[in-house]
Structure 1
Amino acid sequence: MMSHRLFSGGGWLAVALIICLSFASDLATSADEASTANVELKTLDDHFPFDVPDTVQQWNQRASTLRHRIRVATGLWPYPPKAPLKATIHGPVQHDGFMTEKVYFESFPGHFVTGQLFRPAAGNDLAVVDGKRPGVLSPHGHGGRTMQLSDDDLQKNLKTGGEKYEGSGRNPKYARCAHLARMGCVVFMFDMLGYADSQQIGFEVAHRHAKARPEESNRTAPCLYSVDAELNLQSIMGWQTWNAIRALDFLESLDDVDPDRLAVTGGSGGGTQTILLGALDDRVSVSFPNGMVSTSMQGGCYCENANYLRIGTGNVELAALFAPKPQGMTAADDWTRDMMSDGFPELVKLYTMLGQPKHVMCRPLLQFPHNYNYVTRETMYQWMATHLSLPPESPLVETDMVPPTEAETSVWNQQHPAPTDSGVPHERRVLAWWKQTADEALKASLPPYQVDAPERSLAKFRHDFGIPWSIMLTVPQESMKQAGRDAEQTTGADWGSDANDSVGTLIYCGQGDLPDELKAWLDQGYRLVRPEFDSSQDEQPIVANGKRYAGFTFGYNPPLVVRRSGHLAHLAAGIDGPVVLAGSGRHVAWVAGAAILAGSDVTECWLRPDGFRFAAVDDYTDAAFVPGAAKYGDLPVLVSLRAPHRLTIVDADDAVRKQVTATYRQADAMDRLTVK
């Protein structure tokens, strides 16, 4: 196991990680980088157990870390500004026991979320308290809001008891919203990107992106899946997560909705969205994420994967972030089949520790395949009735309905025409706005270059930039067993003093001969260590699934830079005596990361960047690719996070020199900074 000496230096980042992020329990190093090409990569189909912490305090620390991870992974650190929704509600249609209306609003400027609003029929006062009703958000999942079962599938479901009626059985997503409205709730089902009326991003792009599009190579106008989008953590999953948050904003804004009784339920891909929304948004009071709470397959679509999201965690633990609030689900004959013995007992253990053992439920329905069928829906209705305080007379048994027509479900018409801004131009406009607003928010936290500029909070800088970098630099706990062996095995080539007689250790990462500036340490009696990964592969190990998307690899595995940073930090922590950690060129990426992680365990950090920038990497297979690095200040900020520990910068460009100097000045550590 990694020595806790890694955090013994008292550096601000180490302390922040332990206290605020419980980072110490998560950090470990990778396998020996000389064999990283053969490292066994984790995939979305692996096992993702939930290890419940021993105490409430430990869980609270872990939960804080995970919420930060979700926000960073989805590109929502910082949150984009919430512009006015400009919501339009139109086209009311009366049905048996409920009514529907069509909705569209803006989540990003110029991007419209579409969907359908379900309300109880006139005269239905069930669940009304002080004129307000419970509000239920329903992300529909794959298949779409208007999905209809084929004749064959419908008959199979009717025969097995998965469905009871032809009308509701043919339209299961619509049926659950309709019956929740009959029970007295206001329900909003919004379109996922590429489904029904949400066509500004097409279905193939949002859910079937197998090969790179020519537009993705344009570095001046980034679109989805481009290396620049990844360097700024902009993804389909993040986009849909923001749409879900704004959809909850819309639902909460309705005059007849009780903001204290908000629930979310979705199935399959909608279950994934339900998990994330429950983890991120405190307004949700009841949750029913169906079909995706599992220690097995984590969600196979592009819209369910994002860089960093499930490194060292999985859907069961992410769902646990909703605890101790009421959360129900079912297990079926799919990837959730083992939940009753692997996943659900751990949720019960956590809820029990938090004092609410009856607030979590998983009903085994293994006689059915992957579903949100009649039996599952009735389970959900009972859960919602109990925890949304619906009256006893609220109907819990679903009845049939007349299937809706296309005219009744289509949001766009002549009076409300569909937006013409779509495709790659639309992607580019939204991503540019997303990046601009994030850059502006983060820039306000940077220490100013000018000596006489108004002082900014150093704590805010360390929060706004340090937390994302701490998430990005984490190596999962399952690597810890290998870490101890690797630190002993990987010493590289040694020159200079004998190890037993040396007064210190110089660890150098860089190609070619040792720079002249470093030879003085050898003259002082330091031994030289050059880790073997210096000249190893120039490409990342990538999950081989035939899908062109970084999130399928780095959503589950740390990038190579992070593995190397962890390895060097572990190596430095295990050496007695002074340690100088040095790097040049692109090697500064993992040397700087290691120096931050190691704190004062690295006596001196020496860097010669030679113009290196993460933003210059042109493909996610490059060994220096780090998702999000460009968003969070690139090399200038990463190096600055070394403050207040000793640092020497040689031949750096103005941006690095100015940012590092400003940060060390604000940290009152100029005596520990040398700029040459």
Structure 2
Amino acid sequence: MTSSFSASYLMKHFIAIAVLLCFFVAVFAPVIASAEDVRHQPLKDLNGYFPFHPPESLEQWEQRKEQVRRRVLVATGLWPMPTKTPLNPVVHGKIQRDGYTVEKVYFESAPGFFVTGNLYRPTHIQGKVPGVMLAHGHRKDARLDMTPESTLRSQIADGAERFERAGRSTYQSQCRQLALMGCVVWQWDMLGDSDSIQLSRELVHKFAKQRPEMNKTKDWGLFSPQAEAHCQNVMGLQTLNAVRGLDFLLSLPEVDPQRVAVTGASGGGTQAMVLAAIDDRIKLSFPVVMVSTAMQGGCTCENASLLRVNTGNVEFAALAAPRPQGMNTANDWTKEMATKGFPELQQLYAAYGKQHDVFLKRGEHFPHNYNAVTRSAFYTFLNKHFKLGSQAPVIEHDFDPLPPEQLTVWDDQHPAPKAADPEFERNLLAWLNEDAERQLRDAAATPEGLRDVILPAVEVTIGRTYANAGDVTWELKDEHDHGDYVKRTGTLLNKTYGEEVNVVWLCPKQPSGRLVLWLDDHGKAAVCSDDGSVNPEVQKLVQAGAAVVGADLFLQRGEAVKQARVVGNPREFAGYTFGYNHALFAQRTHDVLSIVRFLRHADGVPCENPVKTIAVTGWHGSGPIVAAAGALAGDAIDRTAIDTQGVRFGHLLDYRDPMFLPGGAKYLDLPGLIALHAPHPLWLAGEGSQPALISAAYHDASQVDGLVTFAGEAAKQQAAASEWLLK
């Protein structure tokens, strides 16, 4: 009796538990499924892990190298390079020292934008001599600062420094030693530091809160959504100064262009690494305490939207290969470099047959530094590769450094510009924007310019191309016969990137070979709702034999996303999020590319008929997304129909807006994306009857008839587009 009762009791509870499990699965299965998409994971930030994976061949590396270099240039606002206006250098106040001279210099990297620093030269120069660019870090008033005596004595006791006099100014020590070795040295200021006063240190290095007065669609300032949409950032301005500084150094007749080096520590290490990455005129680099698979640089001047998406500092350093390059470790984020990052750099250099031209100075027993030990390693490395003839290892000697007042650039005869001037900031960004727009409009005037200048930049802003859209497979979830068509629902799985897209297929039983991807802010519900009703215009397409696909792009199902996610950093700087992660707009564009890639490359699509033509439509907020996907997909999409609603990336006033796209406004905004569709047939609403840039692109491609613009009532758009799609 007891045994029978127990069995009955257990069975009842088992059934109850099973019912609850079924209910749980039915209710939460969609959530569980969507959570498998890697894009639901926490966002990456500057403290993530950034390994470098050398390609299997140099041919693969050269392709990857071009992609990463272009990413750096786009992210820093240097694609295209701002017009190189006259430097107008002023060199004054020469100071004669024992074996070398020191001069004060300022020049204009852009009109009215001054770069300041000191120029060190050997006293007796014969023939061509090496040039060295020295970037300083984030220490306040770095070029002009003197180390406090108590700090210096501790450094001497620890073996980091050697001299009580020379150690007071490590920058002067380094410049002096290099000049005595026969080098011309340009040591310049980072923005907001020492004599660089036009932008404040608080803005450049400590920005924390958005400034409403600078957040405008015209006359905007740094860190605003408009600046980010135009790839204007502090890191870009500093990198421009570095490029123009290299121009200045090479303008000196005594400098040998085949022996030019760059070095710097911390923030200066970032500048050294990036300059060597983008400018082949640098023949040797030595970035200090910055090359790492760990923390990538915490300052606002070391980050930029788009910069480190799917890449990082070790790969930036790799861009300098096979040119000689040294680096170091310290008891900071670089401490694991000997086992994480440097072996991969050695592997890359070995592929070039230059395995001995990359060097790591171990120093994990020292804190973050560019101390006498590390400086000696740089001198010795430079001495070897530039054949300077100094005795190795090269070490410094003691001397009396110059006081700050003798190094400063500004004086009564050379008055300083206005400090921290908001009007200067606005005017500088306005000049950069006007200069870039002029260059880009000239490029867009030809099919070649669209292909070679605009398209490569769009590939960076979206972060994916059609060619690398991924390996996509199909998983059927449900199927229903509706008489003249079959409805199938399921998920497309992008196995390359770990992404998912839920889709619905309406497959006519008398197929014409046409397929229409119908995209809308409401996701696949815009094709057919949960109650089974079908969009009337979609119904017309299906009745005409066209298969129709609807999709929930990333985070599109359910309640609309009001704000895109950002990282936990409390400072309101878009680069801390979008320097490491794709924008939501880009992620949704990836989904469109995944769907098209599947349609073109799958062995068989769910409608079980060969797809002859693919058309993509985009309605409401999905119109700009389809515009971006079509710009990248090229011949993979036969026809496109979109309503842009006149959206402009440059009009967004919040970098957390779901439509925000870093760099989206720079490359002629949405019309620039749409112009890339030429010569493929395009039905376009939301841009007026004669959108000049787009019309010109179709004219230049000899496909004037390929562009159909619609300026009628919004309620009639989809009907007109459906009619066009069926022609």
- Asked if TM exceeds 0.5, the reply is yes
Shift of 1:307: 1.2
* Kept in 1: contact 2:135–2:190 (CA 8 A): yes
Shift of 1:228: 1.4
Cα distance in 2 for partners of 1:414, 1:667 equals: 59
Q: Look up the match of 1:463.
A: 452
Off by >6 Å, runs of 4+ in structure 1: 33-37, 476-482, 485-488, 498-503
Shift of 1:479: 9.4
Q: Look up the match of 1:52.
A: 54
The letter of the residue matching 1:622 is D
Q: Look up the match of 1:349.
A: 347
Deviations, residues 56-96 of structure 1 (Å, cap 9, x unaligned): 11111111111211111110111111111111111122334
Deviations, residues 130-160 of structure 1 (Å, cap 9, x unaligned): 2x22111101111121233333322221111
* Kept in 1: contact 2:273–2:317 (CA 8 A): yes
Q: Which moved more, 1:218-227 or 1:93-102?
A: 93-102
Q: Which moved more, 1:277-286 or 1:237-246?
A: 277-286
Cα distance in 1 for partners of 2:58, 2:334 equals: 27
* Kept in 2: contact 1:182–1:395 (CA 8 A): no
* Kept in 2: contact 1:509–1:591 (CA 8 A): no
1:591-630 to structure 2, matched below 5 A, reads 591-630=626-665
Cα distance in 2 for partners of 1:499, 1:621 equals: 46
* Kept in 1: contact 2:217–2:651 (CA 8 A): no
2:519 to 495, 505, 508: 508
Distance 1:502 1:392, change over 3 A: closer
Cα distance in 2 for partners of 1:516, 1:650 equals: 19
1:183 aligns with 2:181: yes
Distance 1:356 1:235, change over 3 A: same
Q: Look up the match of 1:375.
A: 373
- Secondary structure of the 1:445 match is helix
1:319 aligns with 2:321: no
* Kept in 2: contact 1:90–1:103 (CA 8 A): yes
Q: Look up the match of 1:664.
A: 698
Deviations, residues 404-444 of structure 1 (Å, cap 9, x unaligned): 21221211111111012642111111111111111111111
1:531 to 536, 540, 552: 552
Q: Which moved more, 1:196-205 or 1:414-423?
A: 414-423
Cα distance in 1 for partners of 2:212, 2:421 equals: 13
- Secondary structure of the 1:534 match is coil
1:541 to 558, 562, 565: 565
Q: Which has the larger radius of gyration?
A: 2
Cα distance in 1 for partners of 2:431, 2:52 equals: 37
The letter of the residue matching 1:328 is G
Q: Look up the match of 2:83.
A: 81
The letter of the residue matching 2:520 is C
1:463-482 to structure 2, matched below 5 A, reads 463-475=452-464
Q: Tell me which of the two structures has the higher relative contact order, counting C-alpha pairs closer than 8 angstroms and 6 or more residues apart.
A: 1
Q: Look up the match of 1:148.
A: 146
Q: Look up the match of 1:403.
A: 401
Deviations, residues 478-513 of structure 1 (Å, cap 9, x unaligned): 998973399995324566758999963533223496
Q: Which moved more, 1:415-424 or 1:292-301?
A: 415-424
Shift of 1:632: 0.4
Cα distance in 1 for partners of 2:35, 2:632 equals: 18
Q: Which moved more, 1:398-407 or 1:203-212?
A: 398-407
The CA RMSD over aligned residues, in Å, is 2.7
Q: Look up the match of 2:63.
A: 61
* Kept in 1: contact 2:262–2:285 (CA 8 A): yes
* Kept in 2: contact 1:585–1:612 (CA 8 A): no
2:133 to 129, 132, 137: 137
1:205-604 to structure 2, matched below 5 A, reads 205-392=203-390, 396-420=394-418, 422-447=420-445, 457-475=446-464, 483-484=494-495, 490-492=501-503, 497=508, 504-511=515-522, 519-525=539-545, 526-531=547-552, 533-535=555-557, 536-575=560-599, 576=605, 577=611, 578-604=613-639
* Kept in 2: contact 1:147–1:173 (CA 8 A): no
- Secondary structure of the 2:567 match is coil
* Kept in 1: contact 2:286–2:325 (CA 8 A): yes
The letter of the residue matching 2:138 is H
* Kept in 2: contact 1:37–1:541 (CA 8 A): no
* Kept in 2: contact 1:507–1:579 (CA 8 A): no
Cα distance in 1 for partners of 2:252, 2:319 equals: 27
Cα distance in 2 for partners of 1:617, 1:370 equals: 40
Distance 1:117 1:47, change over 3 A: same
Task: Specify every segment of 5 or more residues in structure 2 that has no aligned partner in the other structure, as ranges.
Answer: 1-32, 473-492, 528-534, 600-604, 606-610, 711-727
Q: TM-score by structure 1 length? A: 0.88
- Secondary structure of the 1:288 match is strand
Query: How many pairs were matched up?
Result: 630
- Secondary structure of the 1:117 match is strand
Shift of 1:636: 1.2
Cα distance in 2 for partners of 1:205, 1:105 equals: 22
Percent of matched pairs sharing the same residue:
39
Shift of 1:551: 0.9
Q: Look up the match of 1:18.
A: none
Shift of 1:257: 1.9
The letter of the residue matching 1:559 is A
Cα distance in 2 for partners of 1:585, 1:34 equals: 28
1:159 aligns with 2:148: no
Task: Specify every segment of 5 or more residues in structure 1 that has no aligned partner in the other structure, as ranges.
Answer: 1-30, 448-456
Shift of 1:100: 1.2
Deviations, residues 268-294 of structure 1 (Å, cap 9, x unaligned): 111111111111212111111111111
The letter of the residue matching 1:646 is P
Deviations, residues 450-476 of structure 1 (Å, cap 9, x unaligned): xxxxxxx31122111111001111159
Distance 1:486 1:466, change over 3 A: closer
- Secondary structure of the 2:570 match is coil
Cα distance in 2 for partners of 1:36, 1:589 equals: 24
* Kept in 1: contact 2:564–2:657 (CA 8 A): yes
Cα distance in 1 for partners of 2:284, 2:622 equals: 48
1:201 to 173, 189, 199: 199
- Secondary structure of the 2:165 match is helix
Deviations, residues 590-619 of structure 1 (Å, cap 9, x unaligned): 122223333344343210122222222111
Cα distance in 2 for partners of 1:343, 1:48 equals: 9
Shift of 1:528: 4.1
